[in-house]
Chains A and B, each alone.
Chain A
Amino acid sequence: MDSFRSKIVPVTTILAGLVVVWYVFAVILNTPFQRDLDQRANQNPGTIEFIGKTLSQPKPTLPAPHQVAVNFFENTFLRSVTSNRSLVYNAWVTLSSTLLGFAFGTALGIIIAVGIVHVASLDRSLMPWIIASQTIPILAVAPMIIVVLAAIGITGLIPKALISTYLSFFPVAVGMVKGLRSPELMHLDLMHTYNASRSQIFWKLRVPASVPFLFTSMKVAVAASLVGAIVGELPTGAVAGIGAKLLSGAYYSQSIDIWSALVAGSIVAALLVTVVGIAGRLVDRAMGGRPA
């Protein structure tokens, strides 16, 4: 009950406030176009009627929340999932490359972290370049990667997944290095007194200690992979996927379509982060962690 009052009430209040602000802005932003239309049609509607019209334009500057909701509902539940106008289908296309890229990125990040922790020369030479690599706007490079890979015959899922990989390996690598180094000197000394080998120290001390860090960085990484997958769709000729929906919406000024694609993307992102969070908690409990 306490968490209800301290969390749910403020969050819903602010969300309701946002919706109200959204409606107000929808009216304000759509007004000039609607006034233009009415003038050309020689109509002179009353204020209430005018506001109603601004909220039901087919191509509004800012669609009203209910327009987005209706479009989202139609494209999600009322279409067969195999139709290429279905948001479920488009979200699945994006999700598949997100998941593949996320899997690659996590594996790559862990391998790099293990290398950095165990090889001194890698630690000194690789880490600055990993940080520098993230200042390259890979999203800007995305179209080129896709064109180049298509030139050597790799198309479809892999190029998009590679962009997701590039974006998601960095948080995992940094988090894992921190996690693998998190055991204290005392714990390492204890392992020495047990006469533990390097691999035993790694598997029985360093890996378990790194698990919380791994899942925290995986939450960041999975959101980054989704961004990578969406942007990877932009230059592929816009066939399917959330990014393709955004691009075609931008070409044909279908602002309601753009907004409902955005909503679909947000829902996918929230689901992915939640799933990683739940997986983290399950692993933590399986390892004997107790809820604090």
Chain B
Amino acid sequence: MGSSDLLTTFCRQAEAMGAQTLCVAEGEKAADRIIASMRPLGSRVALVASPLVEEIGLEEALAGAEFEVEKEGRDFARHADIGIVEFDLGIAETGTLVHDATDLKKRLASMLPLHCVALLRSGKVVPDMAEALSFYLKSGQWPGYLAMVTGPSRTADIERSLTIGVHGPEGLLIVLLG
């Protein structure tokens, strides 16, 4: 599969699993587009700093757009409406996001708020689970907390009726960049 095929498959699968995807082309104002999609979700944001967040100037843009941004501190992410986290990889076959979430803030921001905005470089999509695991096996010590996320949190425990947003986010927005 070529890289654009991988990306298409990834988006199709992720959407099938209940995530939303937002593809931002190179040269586009990424931060503006993300902010536009975040507006309806709330105003308190738990943001985990990362190279990509820096690159697109997301923190400043959020502040400018009057979001309340927290980046650390006691009770981090506990009261936020939205958590923003960069992920390492996407798995095309299942529309899955993968990240080394040993860093506590990454975990809290992607678990506690009702919405999660996941940032991913579009060149980081691999075909399947085996490729994703090889990636981490090759990159030195195995991560302390490797998390794979596919769609929002879900349950079918009552009458098998699919309901999203149990303990984790009920909304997962995947932003694919450049």
Tell me whether A and B are bound partners. Answer: no
Footprint of A on B, CB under 8 Å? none
